[in-house]
Amino acid sequence: MGKWKKINNSEIFQGKLKKKSYFEGWYFKLVDETERNIIAIIPGIALDKKKNTSHSFIQFFDGISGKANYFKYAIEDFKAEETFFKIKIANSEFSENSIVLDINQFDQKITGELRLRNLIPWPKKFLNPGIMGFFTYLPFLQTYHGLVSMNHDISGYLRIGDKKITYDKGSKGYTEKDWGSSFPSSWIWMQSNHFSEYQMSFMLSIATIPMMGNKFTGFLAAIWRKGKFYNFATYTRARIRLIKIREKSAHIIIEDKKFRLIVNAYQDKATDLKAPSMGIMLGHCIESMTSRISLKLQDRTTNKIIFNDVGKNAGLEIMDNDELEI
């Protein structure tokens, strides 16, 4: 597949195993119908500069217990299709529509077969191949972000040791990905698709973006609600009007010409996950999957409240080093 076609299909593996100081990872969030099991599965690759520690991996995060495991595999265990999204790490397989998990390491055995149906991908437009808009085409960015599915149904099972989780009607998932060399020096990320309105999903990312010797605060926010998409981002000329960050909370107001988006996020117990730094998984990412996000969208002209809702089972990372600013 040609380079440009790959870029326009960001869910596909974007890299090459010959690259140096490079990472690529997919984030599968799984919530069963009882909401007592909240899991993130993160398969990916980490390629260092000298290839001494390059490897593939599956990071498994139980959001309820807070327990995280990092399962490391040889880089040769990673296989990726060229023309569509399907990757294989040893005996586990991942695609847009399915997960087959077969992990047996360090006395940890995790297996499962899951089907992901009724996916809600981010719409693609000319010069806007994904959630990053035209920034996707810039070849020198530190990190790239893709939305694979904002919401979908899950069926199947996971078996974690002796525990079996069954995913039936009402189970919901979310899938995204990142690739590049490193995570930003400062960022906030949050996501929920468990609002009182069943057909609703939200994701927000704010980060310090290095560019040509300078830095700026870039952001993107995605909302899907009852079949309609709302997009607020640096490239849409939306603006952050307020950003107030505390250790366990973030308060943000974003505006464009039509709307005002008010976000209040509150972090629950969080876990230290591995994150990339120059392709090596030695960085840190403190994430909660049981947080809460208050979300209000208002029409700026009429002051009409379009929706005012609270998302639970929310993923939330607050990794600010006092760099994020309006």
| Domain membership of residue 279 as a residue range | 3-319
Burial 109-128 (b: 16+ CB within 10 A, else e): ebbbbbebeeebbbeeeeeb
One-letter-per-residue 3-state SS of the chain: CCHHHHHCCCCCCCCCCCCCCEEEEEEEEEECCCCCCEEEEEEEEEECCCCCCCEEEEEEEECCCCCEEEEEECHHHEEECCCCCEEEECCEEEECCEEEEEEEECCEEEEEEEEEECCCCCCCECCECCCCHHHHHCCCCCEEEEEEEEEEEEEEEEEECCEEEEECCCCEEEEEEEEECCCCCCEEEEEECCCCCCCEEEEEEEEEEEECCEEEEEEEEEEEECCEEEEEEHHHCCEEEEEEEECCEEEEEEECCCEEEEEEEECCCCEEEEEEECCEEEEEEEEEEEEEEEEEEEECCCCCEEEEEEEEEEEEEEECCCCCCC
Q: How far apart are the C-alpha atoms of 323 and 113, rounded to whole Å?
A: 42
Tell me which residue of 305, 299, 213 sits closest to 255, measured CA to CA. 299
Q: What pLDDT sits at residue 8?
A: 86
Give a yes or no: residue 62 inside a domain: yes
Question: Is 149 inside a domain boundary?
Answer: yes
The answer to the question of residue 80 being in a domain is yes
CB neighbour class for 35 (10 Å; exposed up to 12, middle 13-18, buried from 19): middle
Q: How many domains does the chain have?
A: 1
Residue 226 falls inside a structural domain: yes
User: Residue 207 domain-assigned?
Assistant: yes
Global confidence as pTM: 0.97
The answer as to whether 324 is a domain residue is no
* Cα end-to-end span (Å), the chain: 39
Q: Would you say residue 326 lies in a domain?
A: no
Is residue 134 included in any domain, yes or no? yes
Provide the pLDDT for residue 158: 99
**10-residue stretch averages of pLDDT, the chain, 326 residues long:** 80 93 98 99 94 92 98 98 97 99 95 99 86 91 97 99 97 98 96 98 97 90 97 97 95 98 98 95 96 99 98 97 78
pLDDT of residue 320: 85
What's CA 326's distance to the chain center, in Å?
A: 23
